[in-house]
Amino acid sequence: MRKTVLFLFISVFAFSFSAASIPDFGKDIVVVDPIQKEKEQLTILTNPVKDGFLRITFSSSTSNDLDLTIINSLGKQVYNAKRSINSDVQTFDVSKLSTGMYFLRVSTTSSNFVKKLIIR
């Protein structure tokens, strides 16, 4: 009789413990969507550059700083500028560069761009 009571007691205790530890997946489920960030886009306003001033603009810019590098067709860095973004249109004096085709590399804190640039 003692073994039966002990077995019954252990069975009830084990069942109540295991039932309490099973999570209820049917209640209180919260789904959180990740925040979608809009991609930053670079637009070259003056391409080809004719007056010696390169003008670029960013759409949906969340960055504060930019690093602009111009590379010639041989891969040599010929122009570099670092500045904080303070207006919609950024203007750079590239009048000392000779005519030709270049690569424009712009880096911000959230994006990197490489575009073809022509100077006349």
Q: Could you tell me whether strands 65-72 and 77-84 are parallel, antiparallel, or unpaired per DSSP bridges?
A: antiparallel
Q: What pLDDT does residue 30 have?
A: 46
Q: Express each pLDDT in 16-30 by its tens digit.
A: 555 445 555 445 554
Q: Express each pLDDT in 102-111 by its tens digit.
A: 999 998 888 8
Q: Which CATH architecture has domain 42-119?
A: Sandwich (2.60)
Q: What DSSP line would sit under 48-95, residue for residue?
A: SB-SSEEEEEEES---SEEEEEEEETTS-EEEEEEEE--SSEEEEE-T
Q: What is the mean pLDDT of residues 83-101?
A: 90
Instruction: State the amino acid at position 63 in one-letter form.
Output: S
Q: What pLDDT does residue 111 have?
A: 85
Task: Spell out the domain ranges in the chain.
Answer: 42-119
Q: What is the mean pLDDT of residues 80-109?
A: 91
Q: Is the pLDDT of residue 72 over 70?
A: yes
